[in-house]
Amino acid sequence: MNGERQRNEIIGEAPVALVRDFATLPGWSVTMTSKGQWTTAERVLKVGGRQWVVGLTPTTGDATALMLWADEILVTRVRGDERALCRTACQWVGNLLAGRAWDAGTADG
């Protein structure tokens, strides 16, 4: 199952529905509170001579923030629904791992 989840991530499909589920994928780091609430999730990629970081964090209310850095420079950030941003994070990682632009196949890319 884990191999299938990693394959899905590489092709940009969402193998997870909630941020805490990223802890089951190779390469993802999820920080949790003692009460089981996630506080950050990050995936670091070294692609094309650059270091990319895809990160998620909870914000006010029920919103989640998704950010992308390239070599410590913020490239973009999005706020929205946790499930939707999990799909977007997987798409960004999949695009980068496949050698495509991070936003390929999105409304912006």
pLDDT at 25: 87
CB-CB contact of 43 with 91 (8 Å): no
Is 86 among the domain residues? yes
**Residue 106 falls inside a structural domain:** no
Domain of 54, in residue numbers = 2-97
Report the domain count for the chain: 1
CA dist 43 and 6 (Å) reads: 13
Does the residue 33 lie in any domain?
yes
Tell me whether residue 104 is in a domain: no
pLDDT of residue 13: 52
**Which pLDDT tens digit goes with each residue over 13-61?**
556 788 999 998 889 999 999 998 999 999 999 999 999 999 999 998 8
